[in-house]
Structure 1
Amino acid sequence: MSTLQPRKATTIMQDAEKALELAKLQIGSTLLAEKKQPGTIDVGNGQRIVTNVYLLEMSKTKDLFRYEVNVTGVRQREFDLTTRSSSDYRNALRRLQCYSVLRAFKIKHASVLSKERLYYDCGSFLISTFDLKVPVLGAVELFTLEQIKQHSPLFFNGFDSFKLKILPVHDTKKLLKLSDFSYVTNDAEKIDRTTQQFLDIATSQDVFEDPSLYTHFSASDFYLLNPSSFGFTEQDCPVFPSNSSFLGIGMHKGIRTVENASGKNQMSEAIVASVKKTPFHFVELVSEKLLKLLGPHFASRMKDTEWVKERVEGFLKGLFVVTNHTEKPRVFEIHGLSTTNLYTEFIQREGGPKVSLFEYYTQTYHIDFKYPNLPLIVNKYKTLQNTDGIRYFPMEVCVIQDNQRVTTHQQDPQATREMIRKTAIPPAELKKQNAFLKNSLQLDDSEYLNGLGIKCHNDPIEVVSRVLPPPELEFASKAKQVPKLPRCSWNDANKYFSTATCGKWVALALFGTQQDAINMEQWTEFVKRFRSVLSKNRMNFAEPQILVRQATGADLKLIIQGYYEQGFEYMLIAHPDNADQIHHAMKYIEQKTEVVTQGVKISTVKNVIFKDRFRH
């Protein structure tokens, strides 16, 4: 019998089911409505629309088998590489490492695999076209670094060896056949998306195979490292001098089931290709980036360490860098900037006196520093005794690593305006770029699709537009609820089965720069109004702990972990608009700690406080 405690979410669901059972209330299904007839509005009806959807024709009915994969890197101890990181650098690197290990596995067992194929998502999901006969406890393979690099020349030397473990998935090892659409149902609880998930992975295999052309953060999202190879121009990928970044162009890909595209009353799978544009950091010395961030007008203040730190720390925090002054480079995350510089920070030489970092670096590494007065980079780490330690590095020996997207707190208003202007393109240009990106998947000659008998159409699907009526909710009693037009807002019946309670929670406002900050008084006022809405909706929440602080997604793990250990159940987190890194970190850590988090944009907080715009 398992001794593991069930997850909190599982316990809550079980308690809710028991409460409904005691109240003799039957749990119903969520059913999607049947297809609606077009609405009565004439505008837009009947026009032909070119979509960004490309049909997948499937001529074979291959069996598919699913497995769980775990890849670990070994260097004194083992590191799990299949765990998704909130850091772009780590995430892209781990995906490259995992796929390289599986490539070595495929080459080692080429005679056994023969004409069969393995489809891997660069994480923990593996699908095979035949049964691998994996033992119940899993199969383990070991690979040396030399074995991996033999077939993956761009591989990063981070570990001495690697361990690949393949485990069977006992409940649904064998997947639905590709041409089987029995999973399509209007019962939301019974919808099975594993076939779509597999096709998403299968159509990304050629992307994963070539790290010289692509970088990727999931099976659905990738960016082109050389866009000109696929038809894009320099104008499509502009540079943003104000924060030393460039516009990366890539694709968000999804698999959807469509009707009537290949024949009347027939269903097919299709690729939805959407252009994805994101600013990326240049690979350059941190000192070079800092000079670009400050601009040419601040030369007289370059020796003011505290002023420089206050101005640029938010732009650099969270970036991964690599040192270039030793034979063995060190990769680490920037946790902040110091208020000291090379002259005012000292180090204890072994068996000798304290010396300044300037003396240490110039005497040991013979470095001729151009900007010795710049703040030092702060790196926090764990010592062998598991205590917190801090290292200081000069900016002139640290290079920003590749594949790091610019987060919201690292953008200034000027860069944001530039990006909006550069990414706003006419529909005809968007259509062309969608086609470029679909072609960049290289599906026409893909051995992974050919082996499955799958062919992707060259041209997107064209459809006739329809204007639909507003949505409606229908309950088991046949009562219907229709939203208010024209905004389609729903009326709240304000009837609940039981009162929700929360005895310990925190309201935390985060800001990346002073421009998007709110003060304690403003945040407290927002939380007060937020609690009044909770009370109206019969949610009994205690007085919260209220905090305002500057932080990034990289800090959230420690923050939320701390509240988890103190027994907090819920966190309301205000964050800068479009703060993807913070939002992703919130939800990632929520799964780990089970502290429920809810994000709210700082612009929303300001609208509530200054314009009294609160959605009840």
Structure 2
Amino acid sequence: MADAATNAMSKLNLATSQPTLIDKRAPGTNGAALELSTNITPITLAQNVNYFKYDIRMYAVFTKRDGSKTTKELTKQTKDDYNEQERKKACSEIFLTLTNSDAMFQGTLIYDRAAVLFTTEKLPPISASEGKLLTLNAQSQSVCPEAKHIEVTIKQAVFGFQVSSNDLAKCVNADFKPQHSKELMEVLNLATSQIPFFTPTDYMTYGNGNIYLLNPGNFGFQRNEAPDIGRDKFTGIGLSKGVKILEGNNQPGCKNYTPALVLDVKKTAFHNFNQNLTEKILQTYGNAVPSHALLARDLKDIRCLTVHKKASIVIGGFTAGPVGKATFKDKDGNAMLICKYYEEKYQLKIARPDLPGVIDAHQRNIYPTDLLVVAPNQRVKINTKDVVEALIKACFTQFKYTGINYYLFQVSAIKPELRFAQTVRLSKLLQLDSKKAQDMGVFVPTDAASLTVPARQLPPVSLLAGQGAMAGPSWRSGGKFVVGAKVEKWAAFLLFPFKCGGKMPRHTPEEVFQSFVQKFADAGNRKGMSIATPLIREHVDVSVGDTNSHVSQAVKKAKEAGCTYVLFVSDERVKSHEQLKYDELAHQITTQEVTLIKASQVAFENKGQTLENIIMKTNVKLRGMNHVTRGDGILECFFEHDLIYFYGVAACVYLPAFSGLHHSNDAIIIGIYIQQPRVMTASEIEGGSQPSFPAVIGLSANNGILQASNLDIAPIPAFILDAPLQQREMAAQQYFTMAYKYANPKEWKKGETQLDTLKKMVAEALMTYKNNRGRVPSKVVIYRAGGVSEGQLSYIASAERDAYLAAFDSLASDYKPTLVIIAASKEHNERFYQKANHSNLFPGVVVDRMAVNPELNEFYLQSHKALQGTAKATKYTLLHESSGRLNSDQVQHMTFALCHLHEIVNSTTAVPTPLYVAEESAKRAVNIYHHMKGPAEYYELDELNAKFTHSNLGARLNA
């Protein structure tokens, strides 16, 4: 049925479909009022100031040996850190030369050190079509001293040439409005960056918003605030700066557009400047010669400068053997040792010929590591385990991947009060309120306090488990599960390298294994599961042969014996988790792995909470349910007529539609997480390049069906026992299953598009709901995450929305359920603190006024407790809601309640469970792809989805 929509989908012009922006809803009122501090600083913008935008290009002109000319564009954008800084340095020097020597550049103007120039007065006589050409001496810059001269062209910008400071309303929601104006946002951002831009001895700036102190010690920062990482890297401390237009203090009946800076401290790992590559390798790996594969993993893509001539190369890889034995063919075709060549031609003695040689990524030339030094201003791109551990130890810092280049940067582990203080301190050091900014009509008073915003503390969410009522955001669950799973035939394997030695303290691995398996089964049965004696209980010696093959054989043996569940207790030296999850996929059997250390803690150290967490995970994997959310005394809700039935109470009440959708028996809640690969450029696609890595779509929905071994869940009231099917239905409505598929990149238009795949997955989720529940949902709620920046909201509200509608149509032409789309993102820099002491917020704090977009239905929800560092609230945007009846309180309550259903821990999560499970599903897909296919390998989409995705089990295997 899902495939039937292919033809209908092809008729949709999804790329040009316009989003339907729903009206701004009133903020919520539920909860206790609070006031919060933020990292947001309001900007005062003078009225009636006109800005004129110019396109400025700078070129270094060279003379070739044959007398012809060639040019190098200095204003061209690049993602290479070193080249970016070099080009911006050249552009800055040329621009300063112009302001000191050319009368045309004497007015009030700001420059981005690339191709954008704003002025408060027109620069005559420059037109958009003709422009003006200026010629300067090569000495006007120091980056290309060998250039013959410098040429500068300047024209009026083709789009947005004139913008006014009165145009704030046009800046909002730029991707949703055709009359948008991003130019004023550019003015605000550039005006507050001019001091860092043109003080290169003190600051490094990447893009327009990531500004680092070049020498933090000169600004009073202590060594422990920006420490070295080993002896080849250091921590750069700086500030992330963005400009936003916020709602501000709106008055009833009108809108107040408030420009503001969002500032957040940032710490990033940098490579030591100008360090010899041989020295860097020795400091990282010691005197032992590392393998070429290890070097390539850790050093690939670093740009190095050559010591024998002015040139730079990018590390593309390393030779398999020592560079001392590497050869090349000279101009006569004779083989010559590379080291000998450099010694004879440049009189350079190679000190470490035993190290692998560097292979240039572009020219494929080979260089001894002695002849290369690390180019300056390069952020660490490769997130190796050693680097992460060192920086965590030094800075108490957490990390994440971001963007294509995976720059290593600080996320949240600075204590909140310290983070707040450092942000304020850095904002003063960067002189955001410079005279240049004031001359442009942009004022950021240096003594201005950060924005204080109103917020609300939502009431605790009521929970129900075997021992009765509980309340979040953290709770105890000592009694039975709401629905206990049944395990009749299962297998338990101990994976241990017996012939390699090693043992557990005081107890052998066999003793740990036997005791743990017994305690595991006993605990599950006490919690309301039905776990039989394992059908297979064996030790597997993985010290001989391929470990992965041992794992595969064990899973196959369990499957052939009729087992539905396999438990592995694995020594920490056994690294076969990806293989285990692939075998789970191949044999369609549920697997779980527990480390031998945790098993020992359970078996002989009485770690009861560890055992409970393991059992909770097992129950969810096997379609049980540990706890559910409930309303105030509400155990089950039916919304066909907006009725709520109370068990044991012969009454019903009318409530607004959508109240408690996570309880409704005709609502499907879907989480979708999309992980995009590297963006393919138009030239690559036109040139015939094929995608080398697929996108991954993770999906989770409450469309499963639960099994139950024991419905005697006292002390739940006796009337529940009279209605076991309803009890199971209530739990199933809050049980979220996993699914994933591989898809083509978003920009790929041949064959099955990403929207085609997304449409099929939603249709399949709906069909699974119908098959398991016997009905189709009349309400579809979609939470969407994964790369959800503000620029993506328009696409989700238009192209993806139409894909969901096409999925409905593929099932039946008259199937028109209510559709709700909520985007979730942590790709923002807004931080919220308790006003009194700038500490972390308690779970359940919601912000939906002042700090939000004036046009969008946007709110921030802090739903989890930060175990370390500064918590980051998730931003949610209600993009589509076809009923028109869902208000802010209902959306916020539902979102917070869904953060209580992770099930394998007794606390809330940072995002709703459907999104959490969807993201974990996407990660599972990526891991399986890498394990089975390897990186950067062309794929066949149909083959991937046939071989490496689960058939729809209606279960949450990735719990």
Q: Does 1:129 align with 2:120?
A: yes
Shift of 1:455: 4.2
- Taking structure 2 as the reference length, what is the TM-score of the superposition? 0.44
Q: 1:317-328 alignment to 2 at 5 Å?
A: 317-324=300-307, 326=308, 328=309
With over 3 angstroms needed to count, the CA separation of the structure-2 counterparts of 1:461 and 1:13, relative to structure 1, is: farther
> Alpha-carbon deviation of 1:122?
2.1
Secondary structure of the structure 1 residue equivalent to 2:298? helix
Unaligned runs of 5+ in 2: 1-8, 65-69, 398-409, 460-655, 673-688, 696-739, 745-753, 765-825, 827-920, 929-947
Tell me the equivalent position of 1:16.
Answer: 13
Alignment partner for residue 394 of structure 1, among 345, 350, 368?
Answer: 368
> Structure 2 CA distance, aligned partners of 1:506 and 1:393?
31
2:760 aligned residue: 535
Deviations 1:315-347 (CA, angstroms, capped at 9, x unpaired): 1111111111x3x32111111111243431234
1:103/1:186 CA distance change after superposition, 3 Å: closer
Aligned-pair identity (%) = 19
Shift of 1:359: 2.3
Return the offset for 1:102. 2.2
1:73 & 1:260 partners in 2: Cα distance?
Answer: 46
Measured in 2, the distance between the counterparts of 1:528 and 1:461 equals 43
1:161 correspondence with 2:154: no
* Other-structure match for 2:625: none
Alpha-carbon separation, structure 1, partners of 2:421 and 2:439? 26
| Counterpart in the other structure of 2:790 | none
2:110 to 119, 140, 150: 119
Task: Show the 5 A alignment for 1:371-450.
Answer: 371-381=352-362, 389-409=363-383, 412=386, 414-415=389-390, 417-418=392-393, 421-422=396-397, 424-450=413-439
Whether 1:508 aligns to 2:689 is no
1:249 maps to 2:220: no
Q: Deviations for 1:158-185, whole angstroms, at most 9, x for unmatched residues?
A: 7443322212124431102x24544366
**CA pair 340-123 structure 1, distance change in 2 beyond 3 A:** same
Aligned equivalent of 2:132: 139
Conserved in 2, the CA contact under 8 Å of 1:56 and 1:455?
yes
Does residue 175 (structure 1) correspond to residue 173 (structure 2)? The answer is no
**Match runs of 1:453-464 below 5 Å:** 454-464=443-453
Task: Quote the offset at 1:139 in angstroms.
Answer: 1.3
Residue type of the alignment partner of 2:113: C
Separation in 2, partners of 1:13, 1:272: 42
Decide which of 280, 288, 294 is 1:311's aligned counterpart.
294
Q: Distance in 1 between matches of 2:169 and 2:41?
A: 22
2:93 counterpart of 1:100? yes
- After TM superposition, the score normalised by the length of structure 1 is 0.67
- Counterpart residue identity of residue 117, structure 2: L
SS at match of 2:396: helix
Secondary structure of 2:244's counterpart equals strand
Q: Which 10-residue stretch deviates more, 84-93 or 202-211?
A: 84-93
Contact 1:51–1:460 (CA under 8 A) maintained in structure 2: no
User: CA contact under 8 A between 1:60 and 1:453: conserved in structure 2?
Assistant: no
Residues 96 and 250 of structure 1: is their aligned pair in 2 closer, same or farther, counting only changes over 3 Å?
same
Mapped contact 1:95–1:217 kept (Cα < 8 A): no
SS at match of 1:329: coil
Name the structure 1 match of 2:873. none
| Alpha-carbon distance, 1:310 to partner | 1.7
Aligned to 1:272: 262
Q: Is the 8 A contact 1:54 1:457 kept in 2?
A: no
Deviation at 1:213, TM superposition (A): 1.1
Residues 419 and 83 (structure 1), Cα distance of their counterparts in 2 relative to 1, 3 Å cut: farther
Q: Is the 8 A contact 1:138 1:166 kept in 2?
A: yes
Report the alpha carbon displacement of residue 104 of structure 1 after superposing the two structures with TM.
2.2
Aligned residue for 2:71, secondary structure, equals: strand
Conserved? CA contact 1:309–1:338, under 8 Å: yes
The DSSP-based 3-state class of the residue aligned with 2:170 is coil
CA contact (8 A) 2:224 2:394 kept: no
Q: Is residue 171–residue 182 contact of structure 2 (8 Å, CA) maintained in 1?
A: no
Q: Residues 507 and 259 from structure 1, CA distance in 2 versus in 1: closer, same or farther, beyond 3 angstroms?
A: closer
Q: Secondary structure at the match of 1:508?
A: coil
Separation (CA, whole Å) in 1 of partners of 2:16 and 2:303: 49
Match of residue 286 from structure 1: 277
User: Residue 200 of structure 2 aligns with which residue?
Assistant: 211
Partner of 1:556: none
What code does the residue aligned with 1:314 have?
R
Q: Check 1:372–1:13 CA distance in 2 against 1; reply closer, same or farther (3 A cut).
A: same
Which residue type is aligned with residue 399 of structure 1? V
C-alpha spacing 1:184/1:119, structure 2 compared with 1 (3 Å): closer
Provide the alpha-carbon RMSD of the alignment.
4.3
CA distance in 2, matches of 1:121, 1:13: 43
Q: CA deviation at 1:376?
A: 0.8
Gaps of 5+ in 1: 1-11, 21-26, 150-154, 382-388, 471-478, 495-503, 511-524, 540-577, 579-599
- Shift of the alpha carbon at 1:534? 5.4
Q: Which residue of 1 aligns with 2:76?
A: 83
1:440-499 CA-partner distances (Å, limit 9, x unpaired): 2223443342453634342332424313899xxxxxxxx99789559xx984699xxxxx
- Counterpart amino acid of 2:693? L
For 1:538 and 1:90, how far apart are their aligned partners in 2? 47
Distance in 1 (CA, whole Å) between partners of 2:89 and 2:352 is 36
Question: Aligned residue for 2:590?
Answer: none
Alignment CA distance shift 1:46-1:18 (3 Å): closer
Q: How many residues align?
A: 478
Residues in 1 aligned to 2:227 and 2:53: alpha-carbon distance in whole angstroms:
42
Q: Secondary structure at the match of 2:79?
A: coil
Shift of 1:128: 1.0
1: CA distance, partners of 2:300 / 2:669:
44
Q: Which residue of 1 aligns with 2:350?
A: 369
